[in-house]
Amino acid sequence: MPNVPGEMLQGLRAMGLLDPGATARGQPLAGGVSSDIWRVVLPDGREVCVKRALPKLKVAADWQAPVVRNRYEARWLTHAREAAPCSVPLLLGQDEATGTLAMEWLAPEAYPVWKERLREGRADAAFAAEVGRRLARIQARMAQRPDISSDFPTDNLFHAIRLEPYLVATARAHPDLAPALEALVARTAATKRTLVHGDVSPKNILVGPKGPVFLDAECAWWGDPAFDLAFCLNHLLLKCLWTPRAARDFLGCFDALATAYLAGVGWEAPATLEARAASLLPGLFLARVDGKSPVEYLTEEQDKDRVRRVARALLQCPPDRLRTVRFAWEEELGL
């Protein structure tokens, strides 16, 4: 195993996980675009997962993001674990000077990534429902804690790493849709309901022995929970083009996740939240082909055009129910 980078070692020492002057070995992990992530073996044999936020994300576009987001990820992990202990890794420490945090190591043999399951066509509607159920549980609990909103002064950060690269950038690619997309940005930014994860994606959800485990809350924000719902559902739609043989099952997961999530919404009328998620979803859908962070598995222009066709029509006539988005995509796929 190679030596762990110096700044990570400094962070581990500052957290009290590594003695002064001691070193550690580890293994860099693939998959992240916003952080360096390592599996680190400490001198006493303990394994930990260490993340260090990057100032420039690993994408083709020039996408800068403040490394202070590491602080808010640590806070999200702490608060979310109060609501759903089995659904969040245990935070071991965080060092702001190096932008580093450490969590318990969850071995991939026991905690496979949901995205890989979906890539294989393994679409488990019961698991998708549990994702929705636990996400709603965390948000419901946090909605009862408005006092913690001051722990997440991240409006500018959320704009920089979510609203701008997804919706604002897509508005530049589709000038005729700019008013609709900019209105989504303004509404999302102004809606303050509960603690938002900001990156609820299958790549950030582990299939654990006791259900889903949420990772990578670098975009944590006190704001609109409809963003989390729409962001995750968006991936289930896109996966229909990645693994077409499982498309019907992915749409079943879409229904299961949305239904379970909305059943757990108690901080506002579920239909009101659903309307925001349904109208936001086409913007996020289009963003994953024409924003700053296109999904890596859609490489054929004909597939991108299918996304554009459906998303553009829905942005021009905004839906207020998620099933409207689902049925439009189902029709485009000819299912």
The full DSSP string for 185-210 is HHHHHH---EEE-S---GGGEEEETT
Confidence of residue 31 (pLDDT cuts 50, 70, 90): low
pLDDT of 52 reads: 86
pLDDT at residue 61 greater than cutoff 90: no
pTM of the model: 0.94
* Domains delineated in the chain: 6-104 (3.30.200.20), 114-333 (3.90.1200.10)
Instruction: Tell me whether strands 25-28 and 35-41 are parallel, antiparallel or unpaired.
Output: antiparallel
- The arithmetic mean of pLDDT across residues 188-194, rounded, is 98
Which of the two residues, 105 and 58, has the higher pLDDT score?
Answer: 105
Confidence of residue 56 (pLDDT cuts 50, 70, 90): low
297: nearest Cα among 306, 310, 288: 288
- The arithmetic mean of pLDDT across residues 258-274, rounded, is 98
Amino acid letter, residue 233: L
pLDDT of 59 reads: 45
Q: What's the rounded Cα separation, in Å, for the pair 327 and 324?
A: 5
